[in-house]
Structure 1
Amino acid sequence: MEKQFNTRSMIFTLYGDYIRHYGNVIWIGSLIRLLKEFGHNEQSVRAAISRMSKQGWVQSEKRGNKSYYSLTERGKKRMEEASKRIYKLESPSWDGDWRMLVYTIPEEKRHLRDELRKELVWSGFGLLSNSCWITPNPLEEQVQNLIEKYNIAPYVSFFRATYEGLQTNKSLVEKCWDLDNINEKYSQFIQEYSQKYILDKNKLEKGDMSDGNCFVECALLVHEYRKFLFVDPSLPQELLPEKWLGDSAATLFNDYYHMLAKPAKRFFEAVFEQGVPIEK
């Protein structure tokens, strides 16, 4: 199969959807075999896992002459948070409060700003004004983790507040997030994957999809849907536009995923347990 996604991203997907449920550790040989299904060669897998290790997402250990990789605590937290958001079926309800994060990071630590900005966007914060980020979601724990991770407690103020105007909460949302653009992305996802879902359903019913095919299609589905974590702030129902497509996309994703999950899991387990190449 032609390589469609970068190796590091695919490894994250496999850890999130499979490896963390199997003791959180995998032999590099099994990982190379699994990634081969997506067109990634051994060299690219070793380079990607090495980079992830340096970034603090995974850690390695030797058992005899074999190398094994597991998620670090930081990696586990990220996967758990991502999983909760990926497999939710509908938007959360709102307690009516906003969370506001304001920081003034000194010039000598300016490299932290970009890192912090990426983390805040991923968590679902929106930029209201320079260095002032807001979210309607209860992300107190995530904020505390970020402050500890980057050691920035002296430079951060965190508030829980109500919006007193002079406009509406929805107008505040429009300032911070481009929901029309996100909705368009959901529309494209629904259009493409509703067709693929019907095709694969027919193939499965006829016995025309191997476990290996299901594993690839399932991982690519998760991989594609996971991109919404970087753009959709998971706003509460009360703050979403009337024709919001996020919940419809979530239903399609879950139906499609559960249709492929069992045979995909069989294929993963065969490679994971044997640690040797198997035929599709």
Structure 2
Amino acid sequence: MTVVEEVAGQAGALQPRQLIVTLYGLYAREHGSWLSVAAVVRLMADLGVEESAVRSSISRLKRRGLLDSRRVDGVAGYALTEVAEEILADGDARIFGRRRADEADGWLLVVFSVPESERDRRHQLRSQLTRLGFGTVAPGVWVAPDHLADEAAEVLGRRGLAGYVEFFRGAHLALGEVPDTVARWWDLDHLHARYAEFLDRQEPVRERRAADDGAAPEQAFADYVRLLTDWRGLPYADPGLPLHLLPADWNGARAADLFADLSGRLTGPAHDHARRLIGA
């Protein structure tokens, strides 16, 4: 697993290290990107994670270059590294601000060529394009909705990969049905299944919140951290294609609406609870 994948999150059961990354992304950056070990242990206890698992996960995140040990006023703790802060900042825009393309946007084509002697850079480039939401047209030819152009240029430039790529804008002059072509460029079945799993896990949370909107702050906190950890990998996998190019039973929009609804309900009480625990 790459550092970016560690931060973005993967499908499946939520791991303590993923929950810790979410905690740092949500709450540490307003405290100088640092949290004391004691605060992390308290926060994770409300998520049902024991202290031994917390310390083990922090050690792993430190080895991955995402956290650095640091004492503040004599208190032991860990701070986000520059790499982690950069990835989390990218994630903020992707998770909370990314829009869906419409038909008028057109397409962005990326063509790249990497010498055989730099195969590691080729792997990095493919990983970055996948994370940005590009689909594969042919070896060395990737496509995405055009509204991703600025983000792609900025991210590839920052990673030192811009020199390997050429960008083109244009329309798709299809000889067949565009939705059929799109389904060859992206694995929409897999993404549909991931959205279905998200809906299965989070719909019961909405039902519970609707039945008892005055739930304890610690429950709102736990629900919100799990919600964001569960969600944050999906915007990296979804290219944000226009809805008319997607299958009729597409569930991504419904999942996005559910995420927005629960976020609106949970953000405030979760933040208040976290702030109390961090300051304890």
User: Does the alignment reach a TM-score above 0.5?
Assistant: yes
The reply on whether 1:115 has 2:121 as its aligned counterpart is: no
Give the whole-Å Cα distance in 1 for the aligned partners of 2:99 and 2:106: 20
The answer (yes or no) to whether the contact 1:137–1:236 under 8 Å persists in 2 is no
The reply on whether 1:272 has 2:274 as its aligned counterpart is: no
1:163 to 150, 168, 172: 172
Q: Amino acid of the residue matched to residue 171 of structure 2?
A: T
Aligned to 1:228: 234
Q: Check 1:247–1:153 CA distance in 2 against 1; reply closer, same or farther (3 A cut).
A: closer
The answer (yes or no) to whether the contact 2:101–2:147 under 8 Å persists in 1 is no
Give the whole-Å Cα distance in 2 for the aligned partners of 1:18 and 1:93: 34
Q: Amino acid of the residue matched to residue 218 of structure 1?
A: Y
The reply on whether 1:239 has 2:245 as its aligned counterpart is: yes
Aligned to 1:187: 196
Q: Check 1:100–1:53 CA distance in 2 against 1; reply closer, same or farther (3 A cut).
A: farther
Aligned to 2:148: 139
Tell me the TM-score normalized by structure 2: 0.80
2:219 to 213, 221, 237: 213
Give the whole-Å Cα distance in 1 for the aligned partners of 2:54 and 2:207: 32
Deviation of 1:8 after TM superposition, in Å, equals 2.4
Give the whole-Å Cα distance in 2 for the aligned partners of 1:171 and 1:221: 32
Give the whole-Å Cα distance in 1 for the aligned partners of 2:263 and 2:147: 28
Give the whole-Å Cα distance in 1 for the aligned partners of 2:213 and 2:203: 15
What are the Cα deviations for residues 97-119 of structure 1, in whole angstroms up to 9, with x where unaligned? 22122222223322233333232
Deviation of 1:220 after TM superposition, in Å, equals 0.8
Give the whole-Å Cα distance in 2 for the aligned partners of 1:250 and 1:184: 14
Aligned to 1:201: 210
The alignment partner of 2:137 has SS state of strand
Aligned to 1:63: 72
Deviation of 1:126 after TM superposition, in Å, equals 1.0
Give the whole-Å Cα distance in 2 for the aligned partners of 1:101 and 1:50: 38
Tell me the TM-score normalized by structure 1: 0.80
Q: Check 1:6–1:242 CA distance in 2 against 1; reply closer, same or farther (3 A cut).
A: same
Matches within 5 A, 1:98-113: 98-113=107-122
The answer (yes or no) to whether the contact 1:90–1:250 under 8 Å persists in 2 is no
Q: Amino acid of the residue matched to residue 181 of structure 1?
A: H
What are the Cα deviations for residues 8-46 of structure 1, in whole angstroms up to 9, with x where unaligned? 211221233333345433223312321233344445444
What are the Cα deviations for residues 170-215 of structure 1, in whole angstroms up to 9, with x where unaligned? 333111112233234323433442233112332344xxx3222221
The reply on whether 1:248 has 2:257 as its aligned counterpart is: no
Could you tell which deviates more after superposition, 248-257 or 48-57? 48-57
Deviation of 1:124 after TM superposition, in Å, equals 0.7
Deviation of 1:88 after TM superposition, in Å, equals 5.2
The answer (yes or no) to whether the contact 1:89–1:247 under 8 Å persists in 2 is no
2:161 to 127, 152, 168: 152
The reply on whether 1:128 has 2:137 as its aligned counterpart is: yes
Aligned to 1:277: none
The alignment partner of 2:47 has SS state of coil
Q: How many residues align?
A: 268
The answer (yes or no) to whether the contact 1:59–1:71 under 8 Å persists in 2 is yes
Q: Amino acid of the residue matched to residue 252 of structure 2?
A: G
Gaps of 5+ in 1: 275-280
